[in-house]
Amino acid sequence: MKYKICIFLFLLLAYANVFAQDTRLIRLVDYVDPRIGSEGLGRVFIGPSCPYGMVKPSPDCTPRPNSGWLPMPEQVDGFAQVHVSGTGGGPKYGNILVMPFGKGMDRIKHIDYRKEEIIRLGYYSTQFRTSGIRTEITTASRTSFYRFTYPADSLKSLAIDAGFFLGESPVPDTREAQQFVGSEVQIISDHEVMGYTRIRGGWNNGHAYTVYFYAETDRPFVRTATWKADKITDETSQYDSHQKTGALLCFADADSGGTDSDVVQLKVGISFLSSQKARQNAHSDIPHWSFETAHQELLGQWEKLLERIEISPRTSEAQKRMFYTALYHTMLMPVDRSGENPLWADDEPYYDDFYAIWDTYRTSSPLITLIDPKREVDIVRSLINIYKRDGYMPDARSGNCNGRTQGGSNAEIVIADAFVKGLEGVDYELGLQAMLKDATVDPGDRHEAEGRGGLNEYLRLGYVPYGIPRAGNRTVEYSYCDYAIALVAKGLGKEKLYRHYLRQSGNWKNLWRADYEHAGAKGFILPRDKDGHWLDEIPFGKSEIQKPTFTYTPVTFEGPWYTPWWNMFFYEASSWEYSLSIPHDVPGLIEACGGSEAFEKRLDTFFDQGFFNVNNEPSFLSPCLYHWIGKPYRSSDRVREIIDKNYSDQSDGLPGNDDSGAMSSWLAFHLMGLYPNAGQDYYLINTPLLETTTFRLDNGKTFRIFAKGLSEKNRYIQSALLNGKEYPYSTIRHQDIMKGGELVLEMGRKPSEWGRKLQ
């Protein structure tokens, strides 16, 4: 009998060991699907990238799309090294194009079409239909790694185009279009090419930026050519004369023959300082020629970050893909360019491609704070240092240039969020100076790039009057930014400043037209002129003779067809949306709307009549507003409904521009059952869509959310325990999460009285 028991225990242990090994083989990176959000409105980047990586190589299918990529059967111009993810507006980057080809050393363009395509985290592959060439891509932080496999009977050639970029327009200074400035290319050995491209403009209408490159192959060139404009020559270099340049390279078959003779590998180092720095990046980032090693190193970086949040193994495969892809999208931008700043040299972190903080402050920054707080500290330090060196913090920044502001000076909310959550290593006194610069110094004709446009009027009148672009949402957002200043001032012991900006944070009320009714709701943020008059009719154009007008209502999105969308009263949303976007004073908003009962009816109208816009950030907090009237279960119902109707694990699985991870991070928070009110130190608790979520915190502790009994029917929180003690509140403080422990949510089939108080 003892013998049989021993055999049984041995087999049990062996099975457990095998099961444990199998479990370890399941990596979180395998749940990331870069295709999610790549089609439809999402516009996410599909190529390989390191976390916050400076280099983002992927196919460029046309000069038009922001991410460079379009689904088959669109043409492929080549593979550029620098891209953005999920953005709207005009394109940016698409620099240093490489393109393998099988014939055509006598021409510059080698457009081809994809026969097939593989897209995975850290890896991209395609085979061309015409040439039959297979291209595989992985990357390090500042160096792209390519593996080209040519058909055996093919000419093995490669083009490096230093003149290509996205969003080209034949018209000089076209708004939001990139414009060519100059380029240079030099073949320096039978393995190496270096040079640069210089481009200006793009979405932020920025100054010229220069992308330097160093390209190295593992096989020697046996024939080369270079071009300038449309002329190809045998010269080995083309100097910058404000014309597009590039190189054509041809390789011989390897002497040994076999499969390897058909393979050429390429590393492209990128720098914003010099070609020599690009060379150093290439050699230090990837000091070997093993494509598989580079790929696995990249996956290892992502795995360490994704492990910071562990979800229930019983989660559906679709939700696992949605969740971990959302985390991945959140950590693509902003881009870490520390040590790569061409404008100044110091030891502070430097980040670029804040594209844009107006989008990301609400959810992306708070999510990074939970996953990787040290990274968020570096990002905040970078914002403050940009103020120190450039004069203003950005609301958006790309190509080492501030621009464009969309509403508030929202870097202030990012600083406040870090401050109230206790992130260490930030000079908050200097940060407060940066915030006060935004709040006190009008940027004049630089208002589209930085600071607060219409600030003088805002300070004098208490609102931004109609006639100044984006007057409505600027007033609302400046009020919130003022509240962020008040919080930091109070925490730093500056009581007078605190009281001043707390009062000023109520300025949104100066555009609240209390007697205006629409669709059964009363009170809206509406246009008001500099003399204090409410405007029912808005001028149609600028004629001084006929002075035609059109009626302005809370659902007006556009003015006359010839009115620039950038100059509307509200930016990218209606009054219905912005009139509910007062995240720092929801109790005051409820009072202005006529009390809790009227507010609930207003919210129901907002969602049920289609005034809610799922694909844009001004409405991000709106589904959770039921919390403030003691009905968090209604918030949870709205959130679930929104996710079910608008999100999926498919290529069109994001309902709007991902905006550097903003749309994805909104989803990630709600899957976990938490939602931040950015710039403040708490999270709203909703019904999770995940049974368990475990945060592996940077301080070594863990915090677990357990939705006990969660199912499609058991979707309402009945009660909660925080570390074993009854927890009646529908919010949880950041510091309570950082202490570690467990939040247990007892689930049931019907709404309960739990969570009637926020805390």
Print the SS3 string covering 223-290.
Answer: EEEEEECCEEECCCEECCCCCCEEEEEEECCCCCCCHHHHEEEEEEEEECCCHHHHHHHHHHHCCCCC
The least confident of 169-178, 243-252, 506-515, 668-677 is 169-178
Reported residue count of the chain is 759
Above 50 in pLDDT, residue 8? no
Name, in order, each residue with C-beta under 8 angstroms of 428's C-beta and a sequence gap of 6 or more.
Answer: 415, 419, 488, 491, 492
Q: Output phi, psi for 566, to 5 deg.
A: -70, -20
How far is it, in rounded angstroms, from Cα 657 to Cα 40? 9
CA within 13 Å, CB half, 665: 29
Q: Give the tens place of pLDDT for each residue, 126-160.
A: 999 999 999 999 999 999 999 999 999 889 999 99
Residue 575 structure tokens: 């009054």
Residue 2 has pLDDT above 70, yes or no: no
C-alpha separations of 562 from 13, 537, 538, 540, 559 in Å: 74, 17, 14, 9, 8
The predicted pLDDT at position 539 comes to: 78
Smallest CA-to-CA distance from 88 within 398, 469, 443 is with 398
Check whether 550 has a pLDDT greater than 50.
Answer: yes
CA 231 to chain CA centroid, nearest Å: 40
Type of residue at 480? Y
Q: What is the pTM of this model?
A: 0.95
Identify which has the larger pLDDT, 161 or 545.
161
Whole-angstrom distance, CA of residue 647 vs CA of residue 656: 10
Count of beta carbons in the 10 Å neighbourhood of residue 246: 26
For residue 222, report the phi and psi dihedrals to the nearest 5 degrees.
-110, -10
Residue 302 contacts by C-beta under 8 Å, 6 or more apart in sequence? 28, 29, 32, 51, 121, 122, 328
pLDDT tens readout for residues 269-314 = 999 999 999 999 999 999 999 999 999 999 999 999 999 999 999 9
Q: What integer is the mean pLDDT of 683-696?
A: 98
Residue pair 204/196 in contact by the 8 Å Cβ criterion = no
Distance of CA 248 to the CA centre of its chain: 35
Contacts of 503 (CB under 8 A, 6+ apart): none
Confidence band of 449 (pLDDT split at 50, 70, 90): very high
Confidence of residue 19 (pLDDT cuts 50, 70, 90): very low
pLDDT over 70 (residue 604):
yes
Give the C-alpha distances (Å, rounded to integers) separating 466 from 308, 458, 564: 47, 11, 15
Question: Residue 563 — very low, low, confident or very high, per pLDDT cuts 50/70/90?
Answer: low
Alpha carbons 599 and 586: distance in angstroms, whole number: 10
pLDDT tier at 568, thresholds 50, 70, 90: confident
**What's residue 557's pLDDT?**
75
With cut-offs at 50, 70 and 90, classify the pLDDT of residue 258: very low
Residue 554's contacts (CB-CB under 8 Å, 6 or more residues apart) are: 516, 518, 519, 524, 526, 574, 575, 576, 579
Give the span between the Cα atoms of 638 and 642, in whole angstroms: 6
pLDDT of residue 548: 76
- The sign of the CA dihedral 44, 45, 50, 55 is negative
The pLDDT score that the predictor gives to residue 253 is 78
Which domains does the chain possess? 30-304 (2.70.98.10), 309-399+406-685 (1.20.1610.10)
DSSP string, 722-734: ETTEE--BSEEEH
pLDDT at 22: 42
Q: What pLDDT, on the 0 to 100 scale, is given for residue 9?
A: 46
Res 752 pLDDT > 70: yes
Question: pLDDT band at residue 561, thresholds of 50, 70 and 90?
Answer: low
Quote the percentage of the chain above a pLDDT of 90: 88
CA distance 404 to 90: 12
Averaged confidence pLDDT in the chain: 94
* pLDDT, position 538: 84
- pLDDT over threshold 50, residue 610: yes
The predicted pLDDT at position 334 comes to 98
- Residue 562: band (very low, low, confident or very high) from pLDDT cuts 50, 70, 90: low
CA distances from 400 to 343, 352, 573 (A): 8, 6, 29
State how beta strands 682-685 and 674-676 pair.
antiparallel
Helices 291-306 & 317-330 angle (0-180, nearest 10): 100
Q: Give me the residues paired with residue 309 across strands.
A: 695
User: In 3D, which of 218, 243, 375, 353 has the Cα closest to residue 304?
Assistant: 375
Give the H or E element holding residue 480. Answer: helix 471-491
